[in-house]
Structure 1
Amino acid sequence: MITRDTHAFLAFARGCATDFGPATARAAFLVAPDGFSLAEQSAQDNRYMAAAGAFDAARASQQHRELHRAFSAALPTVCFAGNPSTPDALFPNNVFGTAAGRYVVGRMRHEVRQREAEREDIRAFFAGVLDYAEIDLSAQAHPCELTGALVIDRARGLGYCGLSERCDEEGARLMHEAFGLRATLLFELAPGEYHTNVVLAVLAGRAAIVCPQGIADPGAVEAIAALYAPHVVRCAPAEHAAFVGNAIALSPDRVWMSAQAGRALTSEHRDLLRGAGFEVATVELDAIEAGGGSLRCCVGEIF
């Protein structure tokens, strides 16, 4: 099922057992922020990006290394070298994604990011080292920026796809098929939003963080909240702006977000996550957040 009908989606999703696959990844991959700088093409539709003068490449590299170290204590994490010609490459989950036995290459909207899909070393890692089959969507015409545009409940096999310049309906269909999902809910992102994973996180199939102001259809917000109730964080505007929605669970008991997001998270919402079985872990990423993404954007998951 792939639909905009929130009622039909919710009725179907409530019948889905949490047996689709592991709820969290078995490993993660990163791409170093080598040559980190303002990507002017990406800035056209990413309001979260800072001006060029706010980019500090050395600090971003140091923070990225701390992120790698923190993740490595939780699960196997590999980091590929960056490339100064691809300044957004530290957000690899938009370009490469995985499901059981296969990897998916996305179609990026901007040419500067399309170059990332040409990385033969990353492709060779998935195809040659992990022996994953390839599904390459990068050469077709429809933007589909993988787990930036598509938030996946891996336990149930459900997708939540926000449509914007970074993903159209055909791109959503292609991703739905590539990841082999049971059902995907389509909805428009609010004006000014570019990726779903900035305004929505599904945590190990047990909880959700949603930024209602980032989703144009209130019915989609309510359907998501109904499915994961009572473990639903509805972000206030300050939490939304601080990237609380750009969080990820890499294990069943911990949710990761940036230190800025952690400071913005209210005590009530922290307690709600604790009640769902999650402690909050944070890493300082203010230099990286100048690039218009936060912690979850940096993480490629290996299932």
Structure 2
Amino acid sequence: MQQTTNTILMIRPVNFRMNEQTAVNNYYQKVIDNLLPETVNTKAQQEFDAYVEKLKTIGVNVVVVNDTKEFDTPDSIFPNNWVSFHENGNVGLYPMFAKNRRLERREDVLIRLEEEGFTINQIVDYTSAEDEEVFLEGTGSVILDRVNRKAYCALSPRADEDLFIEFCEDFEYTPVIFTANQTVNADRMAIYHTNVMMCLGETFAVICLDSIDDKKERKNLINHLKENDKEIIDITEAQVNNFAGNMLQVKGVNDELYLIMSQAAYNSLTASQIERLEKHTKIMSSSLDTIEACGGGSARCMMAEVFLPKN
């Protein structure tokens, strides 16, 4: 089992903008004043292309699929919410909270991976849960410790406990469940995706412990991470607001490990946090300001990890 992969699937946007359907519980989204939608999309494409180029430069195999104009899918740039790829050749398809995000699921994306030489054995499809208004948004909601077979999930309107446990049974993971909150206008509200406040590397975890208000849940989470020898690098809520939790470790050239994050995330880290991270991994950052502001997601959300076996 591997925790990190060299192959990443990314979707290049054609109609990127702030998605009004997701803004109801993604409190990181903003409207950028005085920018035409075309300008927002163009800026997002420029950020996307520069980011892909940087990933390729360090030796990551990036499979880029263009979004289609057939549907209105402003969040298609975040494919990790609708699909996950596993070493046994299984693919997970997930139920999405926003109706217009359900249109992001495309069979041709899976066909493209098969054309790239990957094997898909079985599709495990949870999307019928949408009929019951039950959601679990892929590796946005679920953080996988693939080596130690643990799955971490912060419950929210987009991460249902029963469905998460069903996923863990199907994919053979031990569930670690908690609630992570952020302060919105003086209220504590659930953080919409686990991967905004937590990132799991091979030998470390970046996590905002302050977001877990329940002391028992926090202690349980810490115990699980320590049990697997993960160094815990704690981040603040202000750093979470700069997407410092939304990182992903990948393999570059010669299996060199890189932690990928946005420029805003990197800029929010302290010198000592960077020093601690660099003991575990190299760091690569890329500017994603428009995507972060309008999409309310960042570097990790844009990458769907491909662990499928090669033919």
AA partner of residue 54 (structure 2): A
**Which residue in 2 is equivalent to 1:90?**
77
Q: Distance in 2 between matches of 1:217 and 1:195?
A: 18
Is residue 112 of structure 1 aligned with residue 107 of structure 2? no
Name the SS of the counterpart of 2:301 in structure 1.
helix
Are the equivalent residues in 1 in contact too, given 2:178–2:212 (CA < 8 A)?
A: yes
**Which residue in 1 is equivalent to 2:16?**
36
**Which residue in 1 is equivalent to 2:288?**
285
Q: Counterparts of 1:204-223 in structure 2 under 5 Å?
A: 204=202, 206-223=203-220
Greater displacement, 231-240 / 87-96: 231-240
Counterpart of 1:65 (choices 39, 49, 63) is: 49
Provide closer, same or farther for how the CA distance between residues 237 and 167 of structure 1 changes in structure 2, counting only shifts above 3 A: closer
AA partner of residue 216 (structure 2): G
Q: Distance in 2 between matches of 1:238 and 1:102?
A: 37
Counterpart of 1:76 (choices 30, 36, 61) is: 61
Is residue 184 of structure 1 aligned with residue 175 of structure 2? yes
Counterpart of 1:138 (choices 120, 127, 147) is: 127
AA partner of residue 112 (structure 1): N
Are the equivalent residues in 2 in contact too, given 1:127–1:134 (CA < 8 A)?
A: no
AA partner of residue 235 (structure 2): C
Is residue 155 of structure 1 aligned with residue 147 of structure 2? yes
Q: Distance in 1 between matches of 2:99 and 2:166?
A: 20
Provide closer, same or farther for how the CA distance between residues 221 and 272 of structure 1 changes in structure 2, counting only shifts above 3 A: farther
Q: What residue ranges of structure 1 are gaps of 5+ in the alignment?
A: 1-20
Are the equivalent residues in 1 in contact too, given 2:178–2:218 (CA < 8 A)?
A: no
Name the SS of the counterpart of 1:233 in structure 2.
strand
Q: Distance in 2 between matches of 1:230 and 1:135?
A: 30
Greater displacement, 82-91 / 50-59: 50-59
Are the equivalent residues in 2 in contact too, given 1:104–1:178 (CA < 8 A)?
A: no
CA RMSD in angstroms, aligned pairs only: 1.9
Are the equivalent residues in 2 in contact too, given 1:247–1:255 (CA < 8 A)?
A: yes
Q: CA deviation at 1:192?
A: 4.1
**Which residue in 2 is equivalent to 1:300?**
304
Percent of pairs with identical residues:
27
TM-score, normalised via structure 2 length:
0.84
Q: CA deviation at 1:114?
A: 1.1
> How big is each residue's C-alpha offset from its partner over 1:14-65, in whole Å with a ceiling of 9 and x where there is no partner?
xxxxxxx112014110011211012111011100001153662111101101
Provide closer, same or farther for how the CA distance between residues 58 and 283 of structure 1 changes in structure 2, counting only shifts above 3 A: same
Greater displacement, 86-95 / 72-81: 72-81
Q: Distance in 2 between matches of 1:25 and 1:248?
A: 10
Are the equivalent residues in 1 in contact too, given 2:155–2:179 (CA < 8 A)?
A: yes
AA partner of residue 71 (structure 1): L
Name the SS of the counterpart of 1:224 in structure 2.
helix
> How big is each residue's C-alpha offset from its partner over 1:198-254, in whole Å with a ceiling of 9 and x where there is no partner?
0001012x1000012333433333333342467211112331211110011002632
Provide closer, same or farther for how the CA distance between residues 230 and 186 of structure 1 changes in structure 2, counting only shifts above 3 A: closer
The runs of at least 4 consecutive aligned structure 1 residues that moved more than 6 Å come to none
Q: Distance in 1 between matches of 2:31 and 2:291?
A: 13
Q: Distance in 2 between matches of 1:178 and 1:109?
A: 22
**Which residue in 1 is equivalent to 2:31?**
51
Q: Distance in 2 between matches of 1:203 and 1:221?
A: 19
Q: CA deviation at 1:76?
A: 1.0
Is residue 203 of structure 1 aligned with residue 201 of structure 2? yes
Is residue 255 of structure 1 aligned with residue 242 of structure 2? no
Are the equivalent residues in 2 in contact too, given 1:46–1:192 (CA < 8 A)?
A: no
Q: CA deviation at 1:127?
A: 5.9
Q: CA deviation at 1:171?
A: 1.8
Q: Distance in 2 between matches of 1:94 and 1:216?
A: 25
